Structure 1
């Protein structure tokens, strides 16, 4: 049994907290996961994990071995990255983290186009609306939208995400067209529950000096659900322009409050500081940056 494979499986067990999750990640059986861990324990002559029916915990030796495994595998990845650069074409697994809405609506088609152009690269795209620790969770890069806090990672700006406020013609004909943000107190504003306090309707409310939240008959953490509601005339939607552009062009949604739209938000790629950036990562970021700028129209304006 390959020792490096067993190390990777062991790391996945620790980080996922279960044999089942590790099996799903590597598309192997739970029994095979157990064999990998048992092979390491037999080689070391020590117990790495204490297991019960409900949980598992690292032993002291296991915790030290886990940290050493991660360091060893990072060194192996660095060596492979150097060989990849000398070979002149990208190859291997690229793990990407992004928010659910951006990943599903914007990133996924770009990833598919990249895979068609670079057949020796495999991509694991993980979508989650939570803070992801890039190194601890084993990602090569995370795509984040908005202003960044101080970080030890390298941040590459890819594009700007423009906002738009829209409603269906039917809704506006019935409820009227708001002229200022204050008018939204008399309208239904579809709420995206994953917004932070400094974005979306919450940002507008802050600008109105803490007025009560805008009324909403429908809130969701899913962008497609809100888009469907807007198209049905349920209320007013605020989203990145790239998501609603086709509906606007088709006349299904009408732009409103153009003078009061929040400023564009930067889209960054964050990745660990390394002596050599793997070719699979550098080519993907170049590909993604160009695709995003074409989508937003930046290339035509520059």
Structure 2
């Protein structure tokens, strides 16, 4: 059996809290993932899952398996990374996770270009608006914006991206254009992913960042739904300027409260372990840094250089 693979899927089931959610995340059927766990239980001679109507959780034996399975995953990443360094090869497979925002803001173009310049590199890019676990889900690299919360792996901030508040002009015609921040309480804020703002927006006033309250009226977990909600006059939203530049230009969207500057969002790269940034991942990061240099809405950190600094 693929022991490491079965353990990895077991960790995902525990992380998701249900067999069905774990199956969706791994891309295999629920009966198949149930059989994998049954195989592990037979192998270890212990029951590893407690099932209830609320979902699944690890038994005491399962907690022990979770602990050592995580360590085994990390060791596997380190092993592959060190072997990769010995070969210094760019051939092979790079598994990448990125959000839709980052895919549209340059990651997809970088991937296309790398396929032309490095034909031996097989890139598996998954565009998903969720925070993946690069360790448990066996990703080489993830590229994300905003607050990552608690996440396994090594996180490096490489840039900041300008954000602004936008709304459909028709929405502002109906509900009024704010002149002072208190006027914002009359408008509904469209939240991108649950709990990302905690009911506040970071606003820069007199060169000081302060948290200003907002009234959340709608929440969506994908940027496409946020854009659709804006188009349907559901409220206003915080968006990367680069992503809505054309919408502003043709009048589909209007900047809200332009005299207030909204704090930029950080762009992070996340990888499984300090020693697991292989040559393939570094090649993509270097290309992404070059791409960001041409985007006026993205600001590289002064400390970030190619190759040697990230690692």
**TM-score (ref. length: structure 1):** 0.69
Listed as ranges, the matches of 1:214-233 within 5 Å are: 219-221=218-220, 223-225=223-225, 227-228=227-228, 230-231=230-231
Listed as ranges, the matches of 1:57-206 within 5 Å are: 57-85=57-85, 86-89=87-90, 91-92=92-93, 94=95, 96=97, 103-107=99-103, 110-116=106-112, 117-118=114-115, 119-128=121-130, 135=135, 143=143, 145-146=145-146, 154-168=154-168, 178-181=178-181, 184=184, 188=187, 190-192=189-191, 194=194, 195-197=196-198, 199-200=200-201, 203=203
Q: Deviations over 1:22-81 (max 9, x none)?
A: 43334333343344333333433x124245464444343332233222212221222212
Q: Deviations over 1:155-180 (max 9, x none)?
A: 43332221224455556677776554
Contact persistence 1:178–1:256 (CA under 8 A): yes
SS of corresponding position for 1:259: coil
Separation of aligned partners in 2, 1:151 and 1:13: 17
SS of corresponding position for 1:158: strand
**Residue 51 (structure 2) pairs with residue 49 (structure 1):** no
Q: Deviations over 1:187-230 (max 9, x none)?
A: 64544375525853x7589x9x999867x8x5343654554455
Separation of aligned partners in 1, 2:36 and 2:211: 56
Distance 1:6 1:108, change over 3 A: farther
Distance 1:7 1:95, change over 3 A: farther
SS of corresponding position for 2:275: coil
Q: Which has the higher strand share?
A: 2
Q: Deviations over 1:98-146 (max 9, x none)?
A: 6xxxx22333674544544345132344423x7x766567665555545
Separation of aligned partners in 2, 1:182 and 1:285: 42
1:274 aligned partner: 274
CA RMSD of aligned residues (A): 4.4
1:242 aligned partner: 242
SS of corresponding position for 2:262: coil
SS of corresponding position for 1:120: strand
Separation of aligned partners in 2, 1:235 and 1:32: 43
Distance 1:282 1:35, change over 3 A: same
Contact persistence 1:159–1:268 (CA under 8 A): yes
How many residue pairs align between the two structures? 287
Contact persistence 1:167–1:254 (CA under 8 A): yes
Q: CA offset at residue 246 of structure 1? A: 0.7
**Residue 257 (structure 2) pairs with residue 261 (structure 1):** no
Separation of aligned partners in 2, 1:254 and 1:88: 48
Q: Deviations over 1:242-282 (max 9, x none)?
A: 23211112233344543322232332334454234223432
Separation of aligned partners in 2, 1:152 and 1:277: 15
Distance 1:65 1:17, change over 3 A: same
Q: Which has the higher helix share?
A: 1
Which ranges of structure 2 fall in alignment gaps of 5 or more residues? 116-120, 303-311
Separation of aligned partners in 2, 1:294 and 1:246: 17
Contact persistence 1:10–1:37 (CA under 8 A): yes
SS of corresponding position for 1:127: coil
Which ranges of structure 1 fall in alignment gaps of 5 or more residues? none
